[in-house]
Amino acid sequence: MQQTNEVAVPDTAYNFPSKNGYFGKFGGKFVPEILIPALDELERQYELASKDDSFKKERLHHLREYVGRPTPFTFCERLTAHYGTGRIYFKREDLCHTGAHKINNTIGQVLLAMRMGKKRIIAETGAGQHGVATATVCAKFGLECIVYMGAEDMKRQKLNVDRMRLLGADVRGVESGSKTLKDATNEAIRDWVTNVDDTFYIIGSVVGPHPYPKMVRDFHDVIGLETEAQCFETEGRDPDYILACVGGGSNAIGIFHRFIDKKHVKLIGLEAAGEGAETNKTAATFSKGKPGVLHGSLSYLLQTHQGQVELAHSISAGLDYPGVGPEHSHLFDTGRVAYRPVTDTEAMDAVKRCSMLEGIIPAIETAHAIAWLEKLMPQLSGDEIVVINCSGRGDKDMGTISDYFYGSNNK
Amino acid sequence: MQAEPKNMPVRGSSRMQKVFRNRKPDEKIMNLFITAGFPAKSETVDLILAYEKNGADIIELGMPFSDPLADGPTIQYSSEVALAAGLMMDDIFEMVSQVRKSSDIPIVLMGYLNPLLYYGIEPFFTRCAETGVDGLILPDVPVEESALLAEASETCKVPLIYLVAPNSTDERMKLVDERSGGFVYCVSVTGVTGARSGDEVEQSVNRFIERVNQNITRNPVLVGFGISSHADAMHISRKTDGFVVGSALINNIRENYGTEGWMENHLKFVRSLKYGELETSENTKRS
């Protein structure tokens, strides 16, 4: 063996966030006074838990025995042949229990909630995947679960609404604002403000006030750790490219974080351009947004010329969010990660291509990353290793997929 | 009754100082919250001037935001109405200028950080100073995040007014007192703004007003969140300098706006908040 993965961390190593919760100039704790003591306590408890071997052991136990980790690292033979260059691998987060990476985080946070003695769990959800992952762990550990979901999203994602209900969650429709994820998040924060003493808020992405972006990242770090080991085992070296879709950005940070100091690995985040990054129907935060404050942190944000939050649009409900995690904003500004827009059409074509060539029906979110192969693969010379974080499976999207390809009659 | 000596705003504007200096021993300062542009852009200046004549001592003018996460549904609704009608930040400054032509009532702007960031921190504070804004309440900017506003606030002499909550530690209360100019805004119930039942309000107040009075020694204290009647107001503010009414005021506009003589009925409610239900002509301030 000519190389080991246990290299000493250099002094200049990437080490964010700062003590105050900043990734460069992004992040922070922009929340009402009432939440500050709660966030301070959460930060303290999380610090203690992360230094406690038994906490880690318990978390890893559930990830292995309940979530089904490690997830496979699949060579995509026909997709690779289709492009004729490089070698394409999928990190199979779609095979996690509940069908997406989201549960890595909810397992971690629910264990922390129990450690802190909180019995009431709240969450926000857009597409419903985080809601399902939260409802699942609450069912498993016997905790009360309330999920806020935009009324509009409840219509679009009825299957997930029913899954959450079946799991015992109280799904509360949010009728304010645009009735989508950002409004569900507002409502969850309001609930937390009101019930801060007995309630734990499980945030579903690397967004929100410190310490959430760090904590959620840490709970998804397992994706990158496994990828590194699996790629080394299969190929004997690191990947050349890692691709992941970015809404809030949790699956992307999960697979990127381990590789940030490995400059030879190119990292590409794909954001949802909707009908086009230059149009008004887009969720392409980096292409079109400016730094701003929403939901507790300073980060890139889609906004009007008066600083009001602009409605996002994407065919994928999971990427339909006007903000993005603060760590991504830092990685964007420093240029360590390249962020590129992918349209609804490109993503839907990728759903079909991936299904037919690999027998894997990806979530529409994930398909945004797969779609980038169209641009990337023709530029490669032949032996590059390209890893895509296959963050979720497409079962939940069958309604949208049916409408899109086969007309609503076949729904 | 307020414990003596009465707190005076340390860095508050002269208009703000005057309000607290002139406060009678048994009087409670009434701060009324109204969303700029609600129920309509053309009503805001008239409402502020009418509030002053009917008992308001301070006006808290809400800068509408699409995602007001520290506010309840009532204030969110009023913000949506104002934004849908196209309200701009410059409209708000124009309103303050208009009021200043005939009134010295302190005006505090309340809103969220993002529209301010977009406007630009320096231009924003400069406009505040030019038009006669007396302070700024930003519920999503706790003291630890105030650094980015500190310089402009200092230069333009437009102080920030911070909130304390029942779960704020003594240390935080002291810090808030040190950083605030004008008054300290005391959140009486754990929760977002919105009209609440008297019992719920009562329960949470006693627990920490005592702590507030121990720790907030440099600024007057106004209590808010959940006050919808004179009785609420007197009860909740009995050991502080005054109170803030927001959601109940907006709700009252919603009930009355568009009906015949709506303004008269609305102002009757305003007077009742300050003076109680018994109305005499003496209760109407003369300006």
Mean pLDDT by 10 residues, chain A (411 residues): 47 88 98 93 97 97 98 98 97 98 98 97 95 98 98 89 98 91 93 91 97 98 98 98 98 98 98 96 96 97 95 91 97 98 98 98 98 98 96 93 81 43
In this predicted structure, what is the pLDDT of residue A73?
98
How much is the average pLDDT of B117-132?
Answer: 98
Whole-angstrom distance, CA of residue A245 vs CA of residue A264: 20
Instruction: Give SS3 for A339.
Output: strand
State the ipTM, two decimals.
Answer: 0.91
pLDDT of residue B224: 87
B48 min Cα distance to partner chain A (Å) = 24
**B159/B179 Cα distance (integer angstroms):** 8
How many angstroms separate the CA of residue B166 from the nearest CA in chain A? Answer: 8
* B67·A31 Cβ contact <8 A: no
With contact defined as beta carbons under 8 Å apart, do A228 and A259 qualify?
yes
pLDDT value at position B201?
54
Q: Does residue B4 register a pLDDT over 90?
A: no
Tokens of A122: 């709240």
Please tell me the distance from the alpha carbon of residue A32 to that of residue B39, in angstroms, as a whole number: 26
DSSP H or E stretch at residue A154: helix A151-156
Q: Tell me the two tokens of residue A296.
A: 């507790």
CB contacts < 8 Å between A and B, how many? 109
Cβ-based contacts of B191 with chain A (< 8 Å): 34, 193-194
Q: How many CB atoms lie within 10 A of CB A158?
A: 12
Alpha helix (H) residue ranges in chain B: 14-21, 44-53, 73-84, 89-100, 113-119, 121-131, 147-156, 170-179, 198-215, 230-236, 247-256, 262-275
* Nearest chain B Cα distance for residue A237, angstroms: 43
Largest CA distance in chain A: 60
Residue numbers in B near A41 (CB within 8 A): none
Which of A39, A41, A306, A309 best probes binding to B when mutated, by most B CB atoms within 10 angstroms?
A306
Specify the CATH architecture of the domain B28-280. Alpha-Beta Barrel (3.20)
Nearest CA in chain B to A175: B73
Encoding tokens for residue B235?
A: 């009860």
Sheet arrangement for strand A144-150 = A170-174, A144-150, A120-125, A199-202
Return the active site residues of A: 76, 101
pTM more than 0.80: yes
Top-confidence residue, A385 or B201: A385
Q: Which residues of B touch A (CB under 8 A)?
A: 65-70, 72-73, 76, 80, 83, 88-89, 112-119, 139-142, 144-145, 162-169, 172, 176, 187, 190-192
Cβ neighbours, 10 Å, residue B276: 14
Q: Choose the closest CB to B114 out of A33, A34, A293.
A: A293
Delimit the domains of chain B by residue range: 28-280
What is the three-class DSSP state of A19? Answer: coil
- Which has the closest alpha carbon to B66: A295, A153, A315? A295
- Measured between beta carbons, the chain A residues lying within 8 angstroms of B145 are 28-30
User: Could you read off the pLDDT of B233-256 as tens digits, one per residue?
Assistant: 998 888 999 999 999 999 999 999
